[in-house]
Amino acid sequence: MKAVVIRRYGTVEVLQYETVDRPTIKPDQILVKIYASSVNPIDWKTRKGMLQFLSGNRFPMILGFDLAGEVVEVGAKVTQFQPGDSIYGSTSFPGGAYAEFAAIPEKLAAPKPTNLNYEQAAVVPLAALTALQALRDQGNIQSGQTVLVNGAAGGVGIFAVQIAKALGAVVTGVSSTKNLDFVKSLGADRVIDYTQQDFTQEATRYDIIFDVVAKRSPSEVRRVLQPNGIYITTLPSPESLIQSVLTALFPGQKVKFILEKPNTQDLVYLKELIEAGKIHPVIDRTFPLAELAAAHAYSESERAAGKIAIAVASEQ
Ligand SMILES: NC(=O)c1ccc[n+]([C@@H]2O[C@H](COP(=O)([O-])OP(=O)(O)OC[C@H]3O[C@@H](n4cnc5c(N)ncnc54)[C@H](OP(=O)(O)O)[C@@H]3O)[C@@H](O)[C@H]2O)c1
């Protein structure tokens, strides 16, 4: 099968489009013929070796978490899927989706939303699960609450704005000037241009601040969080780590982290929101698998508005 393989950590040049063996499945796994994948920042962070303490040195390595495709084989213990099923889901760390086939545990997949094509479905899992689990599990979001999403135009942000709206929140999205209308089109009640305005210096207070791009800190946002407000960030820093421990001990404002955990139940929940028309993916650009290096470079620019899709194969 064709796949993009790395044999060492480094710049986009380490991404090599090659022919490799198809993976084989374990009893709890399904073999998926992948039609599409997507790029998430964790893919290029892993490629650069920034997560080497987790990814080790088991080369050759295939990166990529998100996938959408068709089940072609199931392991003996698989109960939810059969060959021919259209699914979307995630690989386990450190990836494997930048390939024509991937073997993944069935518990990381769900039926593909029926109103999405494979490319649209493939950009959903990691980003939308992050948004859902941050707002629902870490933020305990309630209808009527005020939520600020910092980084509203990016892969996670587009889903965070839409999920917060779907769950009844009043949403403020923060982006640069060029993305203000885009963020509004996702349903944000209010938008803030971070190049003109600093939301931490305003009078408005929020129940939840989801710092998707992790550009702010607990001390900066404290005065614009409600007394029982929650600050959620995607990347731990020394300050936020200490604050998460301290704020957990006392009543009042909280500092929390999100660590996305793929699972069937949440993918089914997202599928239902998508099929009900409450949330939808937005693809900024699509690259063929052979041009993954360009897709990684674009993601690393941190300027994508919405998601970056990877076309792996066309539907027969
Ligand atoms: N912990 C976890 O489980 C987890 C899961 C998913 C992602 N993450 C992390 O979360 C971060 C965001 O992921 P993503 O997929 O959303 O990334 P992304 O799609 O690459 O984000 C790009 C967006 O970031 C916005 N942005 C850049 N600088 C900004 C700033 N100073 N203020 C506000 N927005 C800004 C850009 O909008 P403008 O062009 O308008 O500035 C752009 O639309 C990454 O660091 C990723 O590794 C963590």
Assess whether 59 and 145 both reside in one domain.
Answer: no
CA 206 / ligand 1 centre spacing (Å): 20
Question: What pLDDT is stored for residue 314 in this prediction?
Answer: 79
β-bridge pairing 101-105 and 29-39: antiparallel
Assess whether 203 and 285 both reside in one domain.
Answer: no
Instruction: Give the number of domains in the chain.
Output: 2
Residue 271 inside a domain? The answer is no
Assess whether 235 and 288 both reside in one domain.
Answer: no
Question: What pLDDT is stored for residue 12 in this prediction?
Answer: 98
Which atom of ligand 1 is closest in space to residue 177's alpha carbon?
40
Residue 34 inside a domain? The answer is yes
- Ligand 1 pocket test, pick from 44, 180, 212, 215 with the greatest ligand atom count within 8 Å of Cβ, gives 212
Q: Are 96 and 102 in contact (CB under 8 A)?
A: yes
d(CA 187, CA 173): 9
Assess whether 251 and 305 both reside in one domain.
Answer: no
Residue 263 inside a domain? The answer is no
Query: Atom 35 of ligand 1 has which residue's CA nearest to it?
Result: 151
Assess whether 105 and 136 both reside in one domain.
Answer: no
CA 157 / ligand 1 centre spacing (Å): 7
Residue 185 inside a domain? The answer is yes
d(CA 305, CA 179): 7
Ligand 1 — pocket residues by CB below 6 A?
Answer: 40-42, 126-127, 130, 150-151, 153-157, 174-176, 179, 194, 212-215, 234-235, 258-260, 299, 302-305
d(CA 71, CA 233): 35
Assess whether 96 and 19 both reside in one domain.
Answer: yes
Residue 68 inside a domain? The answer is yes
Helix (H) / strand (E) containing 180: helix 180-185
Residue 152 inside a domain? The answer is yes
Query: Atom 29 of ligand 1 has which residue's CA nearest to it?
Result: 151
Residue 90 inside a domain? The answer is yes
Q: What does DSSP assign to residue 133?
A: I
CA 111 / ligand 1 centre spacing (Å): 27
Weakly modelled stretches of the chain, pLDDT under 50:
none
Task: Tell me the residue range of the domain where 304 lies.
Answer: 2-124+281-311
Query: Atom 12 of ligand 1 has which residue's CA nearest to it?
Result: 213
Query: Atom 11 of ligand 1 has which residue's CA nearest to it?
Result: 213
CATH code for the domain of 33: 3.90.180.10
Assess whether 107 and 131 both reside in one domain.
Answer: no
Phi, psi torsion values for 165, nearest 5 degrees: -65, -45
Question: What pLDDT is stored for residue 316 in this prediction?
Answer: 55
CATH code for the domain of 210: 3.40.50.720
Assess whether 49 and 70 both reside in one domain.
Answer: yes
Residue for token pair 């421990």? 245
Q: What is the pLDDT of residues 123-142, one digit of tens each?
A: 999 999 999 999 999 999 99
Closest CA to 135 of 211, 189, 40, 187: 211
d(CA 188, CA 180): 10
Contacts 24+ apart (CB under 8 A), 268-274: 268/110, 268/111, 269/132, 270/113, 270/124, 270/125, 270/128, 270/129, 270/132, 271/88, 271/110, 271/111, 271/112, 271/113, 273/163, 273/166, 274/113, 274/115, 274/116, 274/124
Helix (H, G, I), strand (E, B) or coil at 271: helix
Which atom of ligand 1 is closest in space to residue 257's alpha carbon?
1
Q: Are 206 and 185 in contact (CB under 8 A)?
A: no
CA 274 / ligand 1 centre spacing (Å): 22
The length of the chain, given as a count of residues? 316
The count of C-alpha atoms lying within 13 angstroms of the C-alpha of 226, restricted to the half-sphere facing its C-beta, is 12
CA 253 / ligand 1 centre spacing (Å): 24
Which atom of ligand 1 is closest in space to residue 260's alpha carbon?
3
d(CA 65, CA 95): 5
Assess whether 218 and 288 both reside in one domain.
Answer: no
β-bridge pairing 86-90 and 109-111: antiparallel
CA 2 / ligand 1 centre spacing (Å): 29
Which residues have CB under 8 Å from 305's CB, separation 6+? Answer: 153, 154, 178, 179, 182, 282, 284
Question: Which of 241, 257, 273 is the last residue before a domain boundary?
Answer: 257
Q: Quick one: angle between helices 155-166 and 125-132, nearest 10?
A: 50
β-bridge pairing 16-19 and 2-6: antiparallel
Residue 275 inside a domain? The answer is no
**Beta-sheet strands, E only, within 123-181:** 146-150, 170-175
Does the predicted TM-score (pTM) go above 0.85? yes
Assess whether 131 and 120 both reside in one domain.
Answer: no
Helix (H) / strand (E) containing 242: helix 238-249
Assess whether 152 and 228 both reside in one domain.
Answer: yes
Assess whether 132 and 253 both reside in one domain.
Answer: yes
